[in-house]
Amino acid sequence: MEEQSDVRPQPRRRWLIAGCLVILIVACVATGSVLLLNRLAPGGERVGQEADEPEESPAPATATATARATSAPAEAAAVEASAGGAGRIAFVDPLGRLGTVAPDGSDERLLTGDGALFLFPAWSPDGTRLAAVGQVDDGPGVFAVEDAIEAEVTPLFVNRTNVPIYLYWSPAGDVVSFITNHEEGIALYLAQADGSEEARLLATGAPFYWHWRPSGDELLMHTGAAASDARLAFVGAEDGEAGEDLARPGFFQAPGISANGRYLAWAEVDGGVRWLVVRPEEGDGGERLPHRGAVAMGWSPNPESAQLAFISPVGTDERPVLGFQGPLRVLDAESGEVDVLSPHSVLAFFWSPEGSQIAYLTLAGEEDGMQVAGWRGPLARRSKGAAQRNGLQLTLWVADVASGRSTQLLTFRPTPIYLTQFLPFFDQYALSHRVWSPDGTALVLPVAGDGSAGEGIYVVPVNGDGARRVTDGDIAFWGGGQ
């Protein structure tokens, strides 16, 4: 990046909320406004992937070694035109305040003031409201707020014992589902988005992942990872009644329901073999693909599509592999065909809103196709200091699903919270937190300062025009509001 002379990093307050997600067992200590959440990965630390022989990798159509920060008015206008003119970006600033900003950096609004800390804001489906986990004087909780300056913050749930970890709007936007730590591990709650009713407990288990059915009447939940007491079943949003188990869960995190509701996807263990299972919601058939290690998956958001993207380690030997990082593949559930979009070891991927492209991340320097060797999951569970000292960098790519052609956009240093708390659970976050602009022309990324440009939130057009810094912040997500 080119150095920006007008960047003056603000003094940063140490985050008092360490946002954890889905699969975490939480220990909390609340004293006044201080809240510390300590994370434990399920079953202990994951081991890193073993190095395997790479496949040949085609050269990217375009390559940008680092994010190019634009500043001139003409360049800013070009970025705005090509980087998601519709929609706004929600961010959390260095002081823990929640804000939104236009994709060109204009019309910045701070929605909350000092004294409260927020994390991982998620836009409602209509893009007009936000919900976030946070800490206020009354304790940690889940809060909703309109996209307006100094808007009233509506508490949906506040509890000093059962601390919220992660949230996910219902398809209709009338309910916010969220998980908290609980005496039985993890608890899933549903709360009316307007705060009109007390949040109600729906189910418990640990770890806990779920996917809303498009109709909003049920949730497909995966609890217990691959343990003997693991469950994979639908649970009713109204009555909390769980159906019969669909399978014995295998090594995966978030289950998948296709955008049109016709197909389901999960991983299971059968006969000692790990399988990725894709099954019609009704009728027989489907696909069963063997996989090594764990697998992370995500359906195309296009209702006309039956494409499932997934990553999993490669190799055929018996060495233990617990991570899901590996080549990016796309399975067509109707034809059974599988295409390799990237032979690199992909860390995370995100479908574009219309389902024609997939953005994905690799470790910088892995472009030669080498596997990520010795990288302990989740994503090294690095502390902020360790991430900064090691200077770990990621490379952002965008693949055209139809042609299979990938474009390398930029290499960047992610913020610690993005690296250690978002990416390890990207498959669940991809269901609830958007990184693409509504029109599919750009992505939003939180970048840590690396001496060549200030840290902050960057908009990255997929046409290669270069990244633009829009505001200060540690984490950010895109919505469809105006």
Residue 75 in this model has a pLDDT that exceeds 70? no
Lowest mean pLDDT: which of 2-16, 63-77, 331-345, 419-433?
A: 2-16
> Nearest to residue 400, comparing CAs of 357, 361, 352?
357
Residue 384, pLDDT above cutoff 60: no
For all residues of the chain together, what is the average pLDDT? Answer: 80
Query: What confidence category does residue 355 fall into, taking pLDDT thresholds of 50, 70 and 90?
Result: very high
Q: Are 208 and 221 in contact (CB under 8 A)?
A: yes
Highest average pLDDT, of 56-70, 259-273, 429-443, 467-481, comes from 429-443
Q: Return the closest-CA partner of residue 387 out of 479, 436, 433, 455.
A: 455
Q: Would you put residue 139 in left (φ > 0), alpha (ψ -120 to 50) or beta?
A: left
Residue 45 has pLDDT above 50, yes or no: no
The residues, any chain, with a CB within 8 Å of residue 283's CB and separated by 6 or more, are none
Residue 37 binned pLDDT confidence (cut-offs 50, 70, 90): very low
What pLDDT band is residue 76 in, cutting at 50, 70 and 90? Answer: very low
Top-confidence residue, 20 or 329: 329
pLDDT at residue 317, rounded to an integer: 62
Mean pLDDT value of segment 220-236: 94
The predicted structure's pLDDT at residue 469: 95
**Assigned domain for 456 exists:** yes
Query: 175 falls in which pLDDT band (50, 70, 90)?
Result: very high
Tokens 């950010």 -> residue: 476
The stretch 464-475 carries a mean pLDDT of: 94
- With a cut of 70, say whether residue 344 has pLDDT above it: yes
Is residue 6 in a domain?
no
Residue where the block lists tokens 């900064």:
388
pLDDT at 44 over 70: no
Tell me, yes or no, whether 117 lies in a domain. Answer: yes
Q: How would residue 107 be classed by pLDDT, with cut points 50, 70 and 90?
A: very high
Q: Report residue 47's pLDDT band, with 50, 70 and 90 as the boundaries.
A: very low
Count Cβ atoms below 10 Å from residue 313 Cβ, excluding itself: 23
297: in domain: yes
Q: Token match 């990725």: residue?
A: 276
Structural domain range at position 463: 27-45+57-478
Q: How many domains does the chain have?
A: 1
Write out pLDDT tens, residues 158-172. 999 999 999 999 999
Q: Is the pLDDT confidence value at 308 over 70?
A: yes
The answer as to whether 4 is a domain residue is no
- For residue 343, CA distances in Å to 60, 275, 285, 362, 394 come to 12, 20, 28, 11, 16
- For 26-40, 218-232, 264-278, which range has the lowest pLDDT when averaged over its residues? 26-40
Contacts of 427 (CB under 8 A, 6+ apart): 253, 254, 296, 297, 298
Question: What's the pLDDT score for residue 218?
Answer: 98
Please state, in angstroms and rounded to a whole number, the distance separating the CA atoms of residues 200 and 176: 11
Say which CATH number the domain at 41 has.
2.130.10.10
Cis, peptide link before residue 378, omega less than 30° from 0: yes
